[in-house]
Structure 1
Amino acid sequence: MKDRVIITQGQYVASAVKQDQYPEADLPEIVFIGRSNVGKSSLINSLTRVNNLARVSSQPGKTQTINFFEVGVKIAEVEERKAFYLVDLPGYGYAKTGKEKRKIWSKFIEEYLLNSPRLTFVCQLIDSRHEPMASDVEMFNWLVDNGIPVLIIATKVDKIGKNERAKNIAAIKRKLGIKEISVLPYSSLKNEGRSDLLDVIGDSLLE
């Protein structure tokens, strides 16, 4: 079956640590955030189908700036093509990053999340193999408390069996304290969950 939402292009636009470095085009922004090594870069590359759009690294904490990628999409039911910024934020909760550096990071990340007028929603990635860690819960609560719409994506689902997946997704909901929250399972390796995530993005661009 053909995808309803098709990505037509994806390109790197800018890296920023302050407001005057954000790109100027007035495009909606969809943000990706997660713990270091949660599979964020792999998911971005799988979603856009642009190899190495986001740099995949075995060394956690590699992304140290807010990275903006311009992504073009074709949505089946509309004539006009759409575009948005996919925004890749530095990973949180990586122990080897010095405390000072983490403070600087969290300041510019917070500034961006609270002040960007174009922010549409945040995709928070959580590793499906483990229960959410304290930093995951903290980030989720912070987003909710600040009225920022958040979609939880459970990554690396190809690495666990079906029963374990259901159990772990239930544990994610329980730990975040919201039983009725929907969690989107995603495998970058198998592109599972890709069309579901594209549908959510497409709907948000049509609102």
Structure 2
Amino acid sequence: MTTLSADPAMQAARELSATLFAKPWVFIRGVPSLKFLPPEGPPEIAFAGRSNVGKSSLINALVGAKGLARTSNTPGRTQELNYFVPGGYSGAEDDLPPMALVDMPGYGYAKAPKEQVDLWTKLVFDYMRGRSTLKRVYLLIDSRHGIKKNDEEVMDLLDKAAMSYQVVLTKTDKIKEAGVPRLIGETLNKLKRRPAAYPEVLATSSEKANGVDDLRIAIALAITV
């Protein structure tokens, strides 16, 4: 697992993450096209990944609410940008949430109708290219399969757009524990020449809650720098 340093910025991120993720989180909006995006304001963190990589499950683990982000065994079910924020905010200009989490449609599911795939793929890519309040994309990679060609295509897009992204390995409980450090090292080697990739890989398991606190702290740091 990745060790996070204890410098002042990291300590502040730890404290912020403890506050943010202790709150009850709520779903506020599904965005089927860019014209329905909320007004730009609070920082946003987005989750990208191949269909069935575990985005919704990881979001649920982050916020401690099993049913907040919808999960499904059917790849390609999420077809909108789904927005989640800490609860207790009115939405007024002077009372906005400190951040939003965005669950993006999965990519790479070949069995969906081509027109449907094209629509939600364009939505995701346009959002990642054009949202000024988007601070980082967390690119989820299934630890059982590693980086695939369509993951590399998304990385190409993020690099071209100079959009900061960090790779998060999911479902690490499904592989041998001894293989996790090796997989982290292999993934880091593949990211070395990618200018927008954050030089640290996180390893997580939504089912076992492994690495979830590390991801919470990384998110808090990303929205404050």
After TM superposition, the score normalised by the length of structure 2 is 0.81
Q: Does 1:60 align with 2:75?
A: yes
Deviations 1:85-130 (A, max 9, x none): 1001100001111222111112221221111121110000001112
Instruction: Note closer, same or farther for the CA distance 1:84–1:135 as it changes in structure 2 (3 Å cut).
Output: same
- Cα deviation for residue 40 of structure 1 reads 0.8
- Aligned residue among 192, 203, 206 for 1:188: 206
In 2, distance between residues paired with 1:136 and 1:205? 24
In 2, distance between residues paired with 1:57 and 1:205? 29
Aligned CA RMSD, in angstroms, stands at 2.2
Structure-2 residue corresponding to 1:13: 28
> Which has the larger strand fraction?
1
- Cα deviation for residue 132 of structure 1 reads 1.1
The alignment of Structure 1 onto Structure 2 pairs a total of residues equal to 198
Structure-1 residue corresponding to 2:55: 40
- Aligned residue among 139, 150, 155 for 2:170: 155
Structure-1 residue corresponding to 2:152: 137
Q: Which runs of 5+ in 2 are unaligned?
A: 1-13, 88-95
Instruction: Note closer, same or farther for the CA distance 1:82–1:18 as it changes in structure 2 (3 Å cut).
Output: closer
In 2, distance between residues paired with 1:60 and 1:161? 25
In 1, distance between residues paired with 2:185 and 2:151? 15
Q: Which runs of 5+ in 1 are unaligned?
A: 73-80
Q: Does 1:204 align with 2:222?
A: yes
Deviations 1:69-91 (A, max 9, x none): 1136xxxxxxxx96211001100
In 1, distance between residues paired with 2:103 and 2:76? 12
Is the CA contact (8 Å cut-off) linking 1:137 and 1:175 kept in structure 2? no
How many percent of aligned residue pairs carry the same amino acid? 37
Name the aligned partner's letter for residue 37 of structure 2: Y
- Cα deviation for residue 171 of structure 1 reads 3.0
- Cα deviation for residue 20 of structure 1 reads 2.6
Deviations 1:132-174 (A, max 9, x none): 1100111112111210000100001111122222232233334
In 2, distance between residues paired with 1:47 and 1:105? 24
Q: Does 1:113 align with 2:128?
A: yes
In 2, distance between residues paired with 1:137 and 1:170? 17
In 1, distance between residues paired with 2:222 and 2:200? 16
Is the CA contact (8 Å cut-off) linking 1:71 and 1:86 kept in structure 2? no
- Cα deviation for residue 195 of structure 1 reads 1.3
Name the aligned partner's letter for residue 66 of structure 2: N
Instruction: Note closer, same or farther for the CA distance 1:17–1:23 as it changes in structure 2 (3 Å cut).
Output: same
